Amino acid sequence: MPTAASTKRGRPGYDQQSVLRIAVDVFNRHGYDATSMGILAENLGISKSAIYHHVPSKGDLLKLALDHALGGLESILEQPAATAGAADARLEFVLRQTIAVLVDRLPFVTLLLRLRGNTDIERDALVRRRAFDHTVAELVSAAGVEGSLRQDIDPRTVTRLLFGTINSIVEWYKPGGSLTPEKLANDVIAMTFDGLHAERPPK
């Protein structure tokens, strides 16, 4: 959660974190564009003017939410396991951690994935998201060059299919169910890499 959200207090009963969580839920249900400050106030059970004790505008809520989602994804690429070692191992690490962030920050990542790019805040977030995707595409290409992944499939196609699979999780995964985040990641990795590993010569 954004650091400012952990300390800023406004009206009794809410802090910025709780306002943000409810706002993200409302954005996901109604769409950001269709959500007015009146709708937010109704869901929060406070007046519109009271919301401004927590954030200056609806856009600031969106930015806080997207920063929370993107910050989690971008931090994956800074970890040692994502920057050193064989490319296929780095790719697997990044994919596992991406799923972990998605599950841990599910409403926030859902909002990120539903952006339409209608505002500067949304467009800036989409640029950051494309940079993340580009890094993953580079890992796919590097793994192909190393010979650990098959080379007959265009890396761009592989990347799109990988993220298509992972991104679809936000539409059906239910936290707290029988499918744990760890089992979910194991299943996605097994399905993905069993289809991507280069053929090995018979022993």
- Could you give the domains of the chain? 3-56 (1.10.10.60), 67-196 (1.10.357.10)
The predicted structure's pLDDT at residue 203: 60
Along the chain (203 residues), what's the average pLDDT of each consecutive run of 10 residues? 43 75 95 93 88 89 97 97 95 96 96 94 97 93 89 86 93 91 93 71 60
User: If you search the block for the tokens 């959200």, which residue do you land on?
Assistant: 5
C-beta of residue 82 within 8 angstroms of C-beta of residue 118: no
Q: What global pTM score does this model have?
A: 0.85
- Pick from 10, 71, 82, 21: which is nearest to 46 by CA? 10
The predicted structure's pLDDT at residue 1: 52
The predicted structure's pLDDT at residue 30: 93
C-beta of residue 76 within 8 angstroms of C-beta of residue 94: yes
